[in-house]
Amino acid sequence: MFKPFRTAAVLGAGVMGTQIAAHLANAGLTVHLLDLPAQTGDKNDLVEGAFKKALKQSPPIFYTQKTAQRVILGNYDQHFDRLANVDWVIEAVVENLAVKHELMARVEKTVRSDAVISTNTSGLSIHAIAQGRSKAFRQRFLGTHFFNPPRYLKLLELIPTAETNLQVLAQMEWFGRLYLGKGIVIAKDTPNFIANRIGIFVTLLGVKALTEQGYTIEEIDTLSGVLVGRPKSGIFRTADLVGLDTLLYVADNLYPAIPTDERQDLFQAPELMRKLVETGTLGAKSGQGFYKKVKGEIQSIN
């Protein structure tokens, strides 16, 4: 029998960090949600802004407004020492290996020796993120890949490395099923694991169907949405929800990681996606992606 996690720290208050923090609070945990400090002043502007926005999200990410009180906001500069009091640290910062790697060095200096540490990376090497950390740290480290939106999507991929302690993996599997209500799949530490290797492939194919085959965004969403068993939305609406910048990071990380894959070219990020990201068109988080709101109506950018 394992001990359930009672306290957690989520690093990164973006699309996923806020929602993971909310889902852990729904499960009864006290959660510290931290992000970069504000550029001016000593307030937690960034995390507070993100949290306020998250509270208005529809469908709601918290079971009740009261549940939201279990989330304690902070920033890395002033509140990193809180990591010394938590059972589980989840990293959900930008999909960049150097950033995650550096953050883990800081986490190692602060966490309790029995805390579990995990990353929500979409597909970077779990082994590489923990490289340079102590053996004891690496034994308590694994990938916990939640899907967006984490309150509603049932899948949780767990990605152990060759060094992850099997008891840690078993505890996470037990906790994920029993407390977070997840269906667990244990994946290998290969680029983009299982679900996202398929997911990014389908997304990129959708963009190519748009730019090369004359389909519209609406047509592709109809063809790839609820009719084929997706819970709510097709390729482009999902892409807007995920964030086009995150999808581009995923594609750009994956492409060089699979040089011997005969399908490598199919994973090359389309120019349209790069252009949209360059102009700050990031999806729901920036207010416009493949769709935008015009006078209250949602329209595609066809």
25 forms part of the interface with ligand NAI (CB under 6 A): no
d(CA 21, CA 270) in angstroms, rounded, equals 32
Site size for ligand NAI, by CB under 6 A? 23
210 forms part of the interface with ligand NAI (CB under 6 A): no
d(CA 156, CA 247) in angstroms, rounded, equals 19
244-257 and 235-242 helices cross at what angle (nearest 10)? 100
99 forms part of the interface with ligand NAI (CB under 6 A): yes
71 forms part of the interface with ligand NAI (CB under 6 A): no
d(CA 269, CA 291) in angstroms, rounded, equals 19
Residue 56 or 66 having the CB closest to ligand NAI: 56
200 forms part of the interface with ligand NAI (CB under 6 A): no
120 forms part of the interface with ligand NAI (CB under 6 A): yes
Residue 283, SS3? Answer: strand
Tell me which of 7, 8, 14, 23 binds ligand NAI, using CB under 6 A: 14
**Residues within window 28-47 making contact with ligand NAI, judged by CB under 6 A:** 35-36
**According to DSSP H, which parts of the chain are helical?**
15-26, 45-55, 76-79, 97-110, 126-129, 135-139, 166-178, 195-212, 217-224, 235-242, 244-257, 271-278
Closest approach of ligand NAI to the CB of residue 73, in Å: 12
Closest approach of ligand NAI to the CB of residue 159, in Å: 12
Only segment of 129-137, 182-190, 240-248, 294-302 that touches ligand NAI (CB under 6 A): 240-248
